[in-house]
Structure 1
Amino acid sequence: MKKVSLFLFVFFLSIASKGISQTTNPSDFFVGKWEITISGTPTGNSVLVTELSRKDGKLTGELKDPSGTNPQAVAITKIEEEEGKKLTIYFNTEQAGEIALALEKVDDDHLKGMLMSMLESTAVRIKK
C-alpha cells in the first residue's frame, strides 16, 4: 500500500509541477495587442494600437488609431527583433517616408523607446 501511495504522490506532484512551470516561448513575448503612446508630436501625444502576430516565424501587424481620427490602418513594413528584449517597428508615412519605432522590454507588460530617435514612446500590453 505504501508503494502505491508513494507512486500516486510522485505522479500528482509531477503533473502539478508541469502545470505551474512557464512554458512560454521567449521569442513570442511581443505577440499580442499593444497600446503605443508617442509623446511630444506636433499634435500632442499620439496613441496607436497594434496586434502583433507571428507568421512564418516573423512578427507582423498594423497600426490603428483608436480615436477614429484616422480610420485607415497603417501597415507595418517590417519588424526587427533582438533576443526577445528589443523590437523595432517600421512603417511608412506620407510626410516622412519610412519611420522606425524602437522599443525595449521594461517588464512583462511594458515597453519603452523612441520614435525616429527623437520622440519618447511607451507601449502597454492590452490584456483581453
Structure 2
Amino acid sequence: MKKLSLLFAIVMGLFITLDTSAQTTADTFEGKWKVTIFDTPSGDAQLTFVFEKKEGKLSGVVLDPNGVEMSKVTEIALVENDKRLYGNFVAESYDLNIMLDLVDSDHVKGNVMDMFDASGVRIKAESVM
C-alpha cells in the first residue's frame, strides 16, 4: 500500500511540475528582439522590436538598423497562453502586421502580413565590466 501511495505522489508531482512550467505571462516578450524578415521586395530586412510593459499593458516600438525609432507597435495582442504576439507597425509608409510565436525564451518565429517569414532572437543586455 505504501508503494502505491508513493507512486501516486510521484505521478501527481510530475503533473504539477509540467503544469507550472507551461505557464507564461506577458513578460515573455518584454525586451529587445532582433527580427529578420525574409524575402521582402527590398531583400531581407532586419528590425529591432522593443517591448515593455507600461501601466500593465505591453507596448512596443520598432527601431531601424541604426537604432532610431521608426514606428510604434500598436494593437498588441497576446494569445495562446501568451506565446503568440500580434501587432501592427509602419515601415516605409506601409501599414504592416506582424505575428510572432515564442519558440523558447530567446527565439521567435512568425511572419509579416502573412507573406514574409520572420525569425528573431532576444538581444541580451550587455554586461558592464
TM-score (norm 1): 0.71
Which residue identity does 2:76 align to in structure 1? I
Which residue identity does 1:79 align to in structure 2? I
- Report the Cα distance in structure 1 between the residues aligned to 2:34 and 2:49, rounded to whole angstroms: 7
How far did 1:90 drift?
0.7
- Report the Cα distance in structure 1 between the residues aligned to 2:48 and 2:69, rounded to whole angstroms: 12
In terms of Rg, which structure is larger?
1
Q: Which residue does 1:89 correspond to in 2?
A: 87
Which residue identity does 1:53 align to in structure 2? E
2:70–2:91 CA contact under 8 A, matched in 1: no
Deviates more, 1:30-39 or 1:59-68: 59-68
Unaligned runs of 5+ in 2: 1-20
Structure 1 vs Structure 2 CA RMSD: 2.1
Q: Which residue does 2:65 correspond to in 1?
A: 66
- Report the Cα distance in structure 2 between the residues aligned to 1:38 and 1:121, rounded to whole angstroms: 4
Structure 1 runs of 4+ off > 3 angstroms?
93-96
Unaligned runs of 5+ in 1: 1-21
What secondary structure sits across from 1:66 in the alignment? Answer: coil
What secondary structure sits across from 1:61 in the alignment? Answer: strand
Query: How many pairs align?
Result: 103
Q: Which residue does 2:9 correspond to in 1?
A: none
